[in-house]
A and B are shown apart, each in its own frame.
Chain A
Amino acid sequence: MPQLFKPSANTLAKLSVILAGLLPVVVLYAGVTVSRSPYNTKVDIPIDQPIPFSHQHHAYELGIDCRYCHTTVEKTAIAGVPPTETCMSCHSQIWTNSPLLEPVRKSYETGLPIAFADGSPGWTKVNAVPDFVYFDHSIHIDRGINCNVCHGPVNKMQITWKGNDFQMRWCLECHREPEKYLYTDAANPNLSGREQVFNLYMKLQEGAKLTQREYNMLYKNEFRYSPNTKEIEEGKALVKKYGVTKESNVDCYTCHH
């Protein structure tokens, strides 16, 4: 009977043992990569909406304050998407014939939510955390965290996309070291943390000269840049000034209860 296995089969056997050992590592790595990829997290992908609403146009070019539409953002946990009435306060007078605004007019007449052409109602949610996570906007705004730090450069979005993945790892990156993400306008150092948030958009609106940091916040995704040591030193002073407490920030019950 001839030899079934040639000597080369030895190498093959050894190789497959090594591969079998590597397999879990590869699978895990692939799993993590997929879980963190835009395919899963939808980061940086503009989301279809019933109306192509542009933040660049309304928030930056027209200079409407975020709080005109997201009225509850500094008081409550949710920011909220504005009611049809808010759009109609302007669009009852301007662009009244635009076909793009047909869903707004229809919603105002019928009292039903703004809907897609196929009838499925409502704006598509762009940012969300799972139901077992408690998130609160008001405390973050009060401590001077800019909207763009979490949501990406909203002021230049034609169609809204998600700026960050909102995975637990991401929340904790800031909860451990908030000093990296705090910012103050050198020209207006007396503003409170909350006022600093909206002052930045005002500055852009007025065409004031921007520092590199401000430019990153407004046009890039701030979270993806690490601040230099000087900025971190300044941030540490701001932690005190804005009254940020770090003690309970990484305790599980802060976000899961």
Chain B
Amino acid sequence: MQRQITIGLTLVGAALLVAGCHTDMWQQPKVKAQQKSEFQGFSNKAASRPLVAGTVPRGKMKLDEAFFTGFQDGKLVKELPIQVDEMVLKRGQERFDIFCSHCHGRNGDGKGMINQRGLVLVRPPASYHSDRLRNMPIGHFYDVITNGFGVMYRQAPGVEPADRWAIAAYIRVLQTAMNGNLNDVPSDERSKLEASAGKPSIADAATPGEEKS
């Protein structure tokens, strides 16, 4: 009898201990980014809700028209609305390589990996080295990233406005580099170039990381 009571008590004790284990800390009643939601009102079952139209986050009012749209008074801006230095160009290069290079190529000639693999695109990515794009006001590049162009989708979601301008500045660097000639080279460097004449083409000189602005 005594033994049965001991066993019984042990079992009850064990049951009580096990009852302490639950998983409500593992799955807390909170939502993390990109989680599903079973809430009835959310028709697309995504826990992250889109912002109500017209919402302006505190401190994020887009007052500077030129900076946020690439247009000023209905015309494309011609001057970069940001201060350009080496850091900005480096940033532009990095962002360009991430967001544009697989279509437009590392030097902007439109021969990115997608093209090189022999895939037929409905319309191929543009080369930046046409006269039309070389003479385009810089605001156009900002606008293309923000709103897309023709069959190209907008790239805005991943690229913040400041980065878009950095990319635009970097495209100008590429255009200058690909269109350079001997007179652009500082005179002390020029003799070196001439000595090795025939070997380097301007396209080689435009491998990212080496151009001068």
Residues of A that sit less than 8 Å from B by CB: 61-65, 67-68, 71, 78, 80-81, 83, 85-86, 88-90, 92-94, 111-113, 121-122, 130-132, 195
B40 within 8 A of A: no
Question: Is B135 in contact with chain A by the CB < 8 A criterion?
Answer: no
B99 within 8 A of partner (CB): yes
- In the bound complex, residues from chain A placing their C-beta under 8 Å from that of B114 are 62, 90, 94
Report the Cα distance A237→B121, complex, angstroms. Answer: 48
Q: Contact: B113 with A63, CB < 8 Å?
A: yes
Q: Mark B106-133, 1 if CB is under 8 A from A, else 0.
A: 0000000110010111110000000000
A-B contacts besides A92-B151, A94-B114, A195-B94, 7 pairs, CB < 8 Å: A62-B113, A68-B98, A93-B122, A122-B36, A130-B27, A131-B27, A132-B25
A95 to B, closest residue via Cβ: B119
- CB distance A67 to B151 under 8 Å? no
Which residues of the partner chain A approach B155 to less than 8 Å between Cβ atoms?
A: 89
Counting chain B residues whose Cβ lies within 8 A of the other chain, the interface size class is 20 to 34
Sampled A-B contacts (10; CB under 8 Å): A65-B97, A80-B33, A88-B153, A92-B153, A94-B114, A112-B44, A113-B45, A122-B45, A131-B25, A131-B26
Selected from B34, B45, B102, B113, the residue in CB contact (under 8 A) with A78 is B34
Report the bound CA distance from A63 to B116 in whole Å: 12
Nearest to B100 among chain A residues (CB) is: A68
Min CB distance B50 to A, Å, is: 10
Q: Which residue of A lies closest to B31 (CB)?
A: A131
Minimum CB–CB distance from B160 to chain A (whole Å) comes to 9
Can you name the residue of chain B whose Cβ is closest to the Cβ of A112? B44
Q: Is the CB of A71 within 8 A of B157?
A: yes
Docked complex Cα distance between A71 and B156 (Å): 11
B158 interface neighbour in A71, A90, A111, A131, Cβ under 8 Å? A71
B interface majority secondary structure: loop
Nearest A-chain residue to B27, judged by Cβ: A131
Contact of A111 with B44 at beta-carbon distance under 8 Å, contacts A67-B98, A68-B98, A94-B119 already known: yes
- Residues of A close to B152: CB separation below 8 A: 89
Contact digits for B145-188, partner A, Cβ 8 Å, 1 yes 0 no: 00000011101011000000000000000000000000000000
- Residues on B with C-beta less than 8 A from A65 are 97-98, 102
Nearest CB of B to A104, in Å = 13
Contact A81 B28 (CB under 8 A): no
Closest to A69 in B: B158
Residues from chain B with Cβ under 8 Å of A63 in the complex = 102, 113
Contact in complex: B44, A113 (CB < 8 Å): yes
Contacts of A90 in B (CB 8 A): 103, 114
| Nearest B residue to A75, CB-CB | B160
7 cross-chain pairs, A with B, having the tightest CB-CB distances, nearest first:
A89-B153, A71-B158, A131-B28, A65-B98, A130-B26, A132-B25, A112-B44
Q: Which residue of A lies closest to B97 (CB)?
A: A65
Chain A, Cβ-Cβ closest to B124: A93
Cβ B102 vs Cβ A62 within 8 A: yes
Instruction: Evaluate contact between B121 and A93: CB separation under 8 angstroms.
Output: yes
Please indicate the chain B residues that have their CB under 8 angstroms from the CB of A93 in the complex: 121-123, 151
Chain B proximity of A146: nearest CB distance (Å): 17
Q: How far is the CA of A62 from the CA of B28 in the complex (A)?
A: 39
Bitwise, B39-54 to A at CB < 8 A (1) or not (0) is 0000111100000000
Closest approach, in angstroms, between the C-beta of B157 and any C-beta of chain A? 7
Report B14 CB to chain A, min CB distance, Å.
13
Residues of chain B within 8 A of A81, CB atoms compared:
34
Closest chain A residue to B117, Cβ basis: A62
B residues 68-113 in Cβ contact with A at 8 Å: 94, 97-99, 102-103, 113
* Residue B22, interface by CB 8 Å: no
In the complex, B30 has a CB within 8 A of chain A: yes
Tell which of A78, A80, A83, A131 has the most Cβ of chain B within 10 Å: A131
